C-alpha cells in the first residue's frame, strides 16, 4: 500500500471508552467469541454488496466471487479477517468504528450491573461486536475501501483501544475490509491454523459465504537414517473453504442440530445468548418460501422504541435483498428475528413495491400465523413461556388492537396475575380462568392498578373473595388500554370490578338482591347527606354490593377513563378528562353507621371527607389536598383521645 495521507488522530466517543474498558477487562466470558463477531460483520458486508449490486453491477468491480478470508502469522502474532464486501468510506469508518451511537451504548451502560457474568449477556443486544477484537488484541488495524470508489480512497484505521484512534488515507486496490489483530502476548494461541479452523466450524459453519484459509502445509519429514537432507521445492498452497458455506435455512431440518440453529441465531441477531425457541418451515405450492423465525430469550434494549429497525432478512431464491424488512410481521411481533427466502416475490423488489405486492401481503399473513403457532407451542412449556412472557408479554398485549384477524389467538397467549395465586406471577391464561369460573358466573372479572399490592388489596375485591370468584389483577401500564380493545373471550364478556355496577350473574341469589335493594332504600337519607357534603368530588353516592370489610370505595362510571390511561395521557403531555367518581358506601360498616347518627354537620363533613380520601388512597390514587386530609385526621384523633 502507498504512503498514508490525510492522517489525523481522533478521540473515541465517551461511551466507547467505557465500553472498551469493559471489553478489554474480559466482559465476554468466552474470548474466542471475537472471531464469530468479526466473521458475522464480514458476512453482513458481503450481503450489503449483493443488495446494492442488484441496481449497480459495476460495484462488483469484475469480482463477483464473494468470500471471507482468514489468515494468521505466528511470528508476528497477528490474525487477519478480510472480506470483499461493500467496504466503508472515511466518514463511515468514523461513524461505525469511532462511535456506537447507533447501538444505544448509553442505554447499554445504564443497564450494567457490575456482575461480569450478567453484563456479558448484554453485549450482543447492542451491536458492539467489532469491539470484541480488543479482548484478544492489543492493537487493531482496519484497511477498507468502499465498493465503486477509487483505489486512492482507501482508509486506514488504527487503535490500541485506549481512548483515541488514528485515521489515514491509503491506496487500496481491492474493495472491502481487512482487519488485522495484533494479539496480546497471552492470546497468541489464536495465531494457529487448527485453532482458527475449529472456531470457524464451531461458530460460522452456517454462514452462506465461504470462509477461506490457505491449506496447512504438510509437516516436513525428517531424512531416513543414512540419507542426506535435500532441499524440497516450495509447495504451492491452495485455498480451502472451512465452513459448509450453505445457507442454514435451505438445509433439511433433520440435518440441522440445535447448536447450529443457535449459532445462526447469534450471527443473525448479534445476540450473545441462545434463542428461546424457533420454527423452520418450507412451503411449496402457489406460494413457495422458506422461513426461519426465532424468539429471543431476552428483550433488546430498544424494544419499546416502535421506530427502531426491526424485521426479517429477505432473500429471493437465496439472493440477499433487504435487511430488517418490517412488512411481514405486525408491530406486536417486532421482537422476532429471522429469515424469509421466497421464490414468489419479484427480484426487483423495493420497499415501496413490497408494501403493495399482494404476494407480500399473503406471505405476511402466513408468517404471522406461523409466529403465533410457534408461541402457542412454546406456551405448553410453562417455565420457558414464563421467560418469554416476562420479556415480551407487554408487547403481545398490543396485538388485539392491531390484529383483529388473530385476536383470539393472541388472547390465548396472554397471561395474568390473579386472586387464584398468592404471588404476582403472571401465569394465568384466560382459558384456565374460564375453567375455574363459579357456577352461574357469566363474566371474566378484572381490576387494574398501578402495582400488584394495590390490586390484590383493592376493596373492590371483597365481595369476590367472599363468593370465591377469581379476579384478574392487571398491573401493567398498557393493561387498561388493551382492555378497551377486547370485549369477550370464549363467549364470556369482561368486566372491570371498579367500574359501573357489578353484575354477579346467578352467583347472587334473589335473597341477596332483595336485601341490597332494601338497604339502599333505608340509606337514602345518608346518601343524600353525603352527596351534598361531597358534591365537588363525586357524581353519585350509593349503597355498595362490592364491599364486605371496608367502609367505602370509589367507582368509575362504565365508560370513564381509569388511572392507568390517565397516566399514559399525562405522560404524553395530554390533558385527561376530569370525571367525578361514584362514592359507594358499606352500610353494614360501623364507621358508616356512626356517620349516619352524627348530628354535628362539621364533624359529619370531616368524617365524610376522611372516608372519601381513604377510599381514594386504597384505590391507588393520589390526594389532591393531602394537607387537609392530615388536618382532618389529626382533629379526629385528638377528639377521640379526650
- Report residue 551 as a C-alpha cell: 367502609
Radius of gyration of the chain (CA): 33
Contact 326, 365 (CB under 8 A): no
Domain 520-554+572-641 coded CATH 1.10.3720.10: no
Q: Over the stretch 51-63, which tens digit does the pLDDT of each residue have? A: 888 889 999 999 9
Residues 531-551 have a mean pLDDT of: 93
Question: Residue by residue, what is the 3-state secondary structure of 454-478?
Answer: HHHCCHHHHHHHHHCCCCEEECCCC
Cα Dmax for the chain? 127
Average pLDDT of the chain, as a whole number? 85
Residues 276-293 have a mean pLDDT of: 92
Find residue 294's DSSP bridge partners.
278, 337
Question: For position 475, what pLDDT does the model report?
Answer: 93
Q: Over the stretch 458-501, which tens digit does the pLDDT of each residue have? A: 999 999 999 999 999 999 989 999 999 999 999 999 999 999 88
Question: End-to-end alpha-carbon separation of the chain, Å?
Answer: 97
Contact 140, 158 (CB under 8 A): yes
Statement: residue 14 has pLDDT above 90: no
% of residues, the chain, pLDDT over 70: 86
Contact 24, 137 (CB under 8 A): no
Name 477's Cβ contacts closer than 8 Å, sequence gap at least 6. 564, 567, 568
Residue 464 main-chain phi, psi, to 5 deg: -70, -35
Residues 590-617 have a mean pLDDT of: 92
Q: Over the stretch 255-266, which tens digit does the pLDDT of each residue have? A: 999 999 998 998
pLDDT higher at 525 or 571: 525
Q: Over the stretch 68-88, which tens digit does the pLDDT of each residue have? A: 999 999 999 999 999 999 999
CATH of domain 248-391: 3.30.230.80
Q: Where are the beta strands (DSSP E) in 59-175?
A: 68-73, 78-83, 137-145, 154-159, 164-170
H or E element, residue 232: none
User: Strands 472-474 and 443-448: what pairing?
Assistant: parallel
Rounded distance between C-alpha atoms, residue 336 and residue 358, angstroms: 23
C-alpha closest to that of 52 among 74, 100, 85, 19: 85
pLDDT-derived band at 270 (thresholds 50, 70, 90) equals confident
Question: For position 383, what pLDDT does the model report?
Answer: 95
- Report residue 377 as a C-alpha cell: 407451542
Sign (positive or negative) of CA dihedral 227, 229, 231, 237: positive
Question: For position 47, what pLDDT does the model report?
Answer: 86
User: Strands 164-170 and 5-11: what pairing?
Assistant: antiparallel
Question: For position 122, what pLDDT does the model report?
Answer: 46
Find residue 240's DSSP bridge partners.
213
% of residues, the chain, pLDDT over 90: 54
Q: Which residue has the cell 524440497?
A: 232
C-alpha closest to that of 153 among 203, 91, 90, 206: 90
248-391 and 520-554+572-641 agree in CATH topology: no
Contact 66, 85 (CB under 8 A): yes
- The CATH class of 5-217+235-241 is alpha beta
Q: Over the stretch 370-427, which tens digit does the pLDDT of each residue have? A: 999 999 999 999 999 999 999 999 999 999 999 999 999 999 999 999 999 989 999 9
Rounded distance between C-alpha atoms, residue 566 and residue 568, angstroms: 5
H or E element, residue 58: none
* Domain residue ranges of the chain, discontinuous segments joined by +: 5-217+235-241, 248-391, 520-554+572-641
Question: For position 229, what pLDDT does the model report?
Answer: 63
Question: For position 432, what pLDDT does the model report?
Answer: 97
Contact 569, 562 (CB under 8 A): no
Statement: residue 121 has pLDDT above 70: no
Name 130's Cβ contacts closer than 8 Å, sequence gap at least 6. 37, 38, 41, 96, 97
Q: How many CA atoms lie within 13 A of 617 on its CB side?
A: 12
Amino acid at each position: 500500500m502507498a504512503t498514508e495521507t490525510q492522517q489525523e488522530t481522533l478521540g473515541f466517543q465517551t461511551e466507547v471508552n467505557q465500553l472498551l474498558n469493559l471489553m478489554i477487562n474480559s466482559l465476554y466470558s468466552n474470548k474466542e467469541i471475537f472471531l464469530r463477531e468479526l466473521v458475522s460483520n464480514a458476512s453482513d458486508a458481503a450481503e450489503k454488496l449483493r443488495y446494492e449490486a442488484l441496481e449497480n453491477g459495476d460495484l462488483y468491480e469484475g469480482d463477483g466471487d464473494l468470500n471471507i478470508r482468514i489468515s494468521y502469522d505466528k511470528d508476528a502474532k497477528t490474525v487477519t479477517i478480510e472480506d470483499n464486501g461493500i467496504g466503508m468510506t472515511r466518514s463511515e469508518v468514523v461513524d461505525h468504528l469511532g462511535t456506537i451511537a447507533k447501538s444505544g451504548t448509553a442505554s447499554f451502560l445504564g443497564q450494567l450491573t457490575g456482575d461480569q457474568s450478567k453484563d456479558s449477556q448484554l453485549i450482543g443486544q447492542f451491536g458492539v461486536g467489532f469491539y470484541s477484537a480488543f479482548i484478544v488484541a492489543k492493537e487493531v488495524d482496519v484497511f477498507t475501501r468502499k465498493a465503486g470508489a477509487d483505489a486512492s480512497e482507501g482508509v486506514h484505521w488504527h487503535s490500541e483501544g485506549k481512548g483515541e484512534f488514528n485515521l489515514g488515507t491509503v491506496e487500496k486496490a481491492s474493495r472491502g475490509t481487512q482487519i488485522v489483530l495484533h494479539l496480546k502476548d497471552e492470546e497468541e494461541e489464536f495465531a494457529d491454523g487448527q485453532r482458527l479452523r475449529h472456531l470457524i466450524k464451531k461458530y460460522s459453519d452456517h454462514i452462506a459465504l465461504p470462509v477461506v484459509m490457505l491449506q496447512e502445509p504438510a509437516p516436513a519429514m525428517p531424512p531416513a537414517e543414512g540419507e542426506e537432507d535435500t532441499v524440497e521445492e516450495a509447495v504451492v498452497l491452495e485455498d480451502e473453504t472451512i465452513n459448509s458455506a450453505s445457507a442454514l435455512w435451505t438445509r433439511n431440518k433433520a440435518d440441522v442440530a440445535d447448536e447450529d440453529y443457535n449459532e445462526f441465531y447469534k450471527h443473525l441477531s448479534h445476540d450473545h445468548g441462545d434463542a428461546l425457541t424457533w420454527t423452520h418451515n418450507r412451503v411449496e405450492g402457489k406460494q413457495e418460501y422458506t422461513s426461519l423465525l426465532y424468539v429471543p430469550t431476552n428483550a433488546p434494549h430498544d424494544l419499546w422504541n416502535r421506530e427502531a429497525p426491526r424485521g426479517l432478512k429477505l432473500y429471493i431464491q437465496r439472493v440477499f435483498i433487504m435487511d430488517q424488512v418490517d412488512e411481514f410481521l405486525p408491530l406486536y411481533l417486532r421482537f422476532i428475528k429471522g429469515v424469509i427466502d421466497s421464490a414468489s416475490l419479484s427480484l426487483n423488489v423495493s420497499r415501496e413495491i413490497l408494501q403493495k405486492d399482494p404476494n407480500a401481503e399473503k406471505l405476511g399473513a402466513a408468517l404471522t400465523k406461523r409466529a403465533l403457532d410457534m408461541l402457542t407451542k412454546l406456551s405448553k412449556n410453562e417455565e420457558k413461556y414464563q421467560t418469554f412472557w416476562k420479556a415480551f408479554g407487554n408487547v403481545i398485549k398490543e396485538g388485539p388492537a392491531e390484529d383483529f384477524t388473530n385476536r383470539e389467538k393472541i388472547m390465548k397467549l396472554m397471561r395474568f396475575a390473579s386472586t387464584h395465586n398468592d404471588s404476582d406471577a403472571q401465569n394465568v391464561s384466560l382459558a384456565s380462568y374460564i375453567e375455574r369460573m363459579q357456577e352461574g358466573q357469566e363474566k371474566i372479572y378484572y381490576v387494574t392498578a398501578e402495582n400488584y399490592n394495590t390490586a390484590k388489596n383493592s376493596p373492590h375485591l371483597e365481595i369476590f373473595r367472599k363468593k370465591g370468584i377469581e379476579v384478574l389483577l392487571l398491573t401493567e401500564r398498557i393493561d387498561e388500554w388493551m382492555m378497551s380493545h377486547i370485549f369477550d373471550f370464549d363467549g364470556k364478556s369482561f368486566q372491570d370490578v371498579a367500574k359501573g355496577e357489578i353484575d354477579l350473574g346467578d352467583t347472587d341469589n334473589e335473597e341477596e338482591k332483595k336485601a341490597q335493594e332494601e338497604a339502599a332504600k333505608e340509606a337514602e337519607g345518608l346518601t343524600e347527606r353525603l352527596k351534598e357534603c361531597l358534591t365537588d368530588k363525586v357524581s353519585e353516592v350509593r349503597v355498595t354490593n362490592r364491599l364486605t370489610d371496608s367502609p367505602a370505595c370509589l367507582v368509575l362510571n362504565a365508560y370513564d377513563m381509569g388511572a392507568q390511561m390517565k397516566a399514559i395521557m399525562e405522560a404524553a403531555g395530554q390533558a385527561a378528562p376530569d370525571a367525578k367518581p361514584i362514592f359507594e358506601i358499606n352500610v353494614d360498616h360501623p364507621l358508616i353507621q356512626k356517620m349516619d347518627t352524627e348530628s354535628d354537620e362539621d364533624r359529619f363533613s370531616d368524617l365524610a371527607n376522611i372516608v372519601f380520601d381513604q377510599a381514594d388512597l386504597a384505590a391507588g390514587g393520589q390526594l389532591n389536598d393531602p394537607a387537609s386530609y392530615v388536618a382532618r385526621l389529626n382533629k379526629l384523633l385528638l377528639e377521640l383521645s379526650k
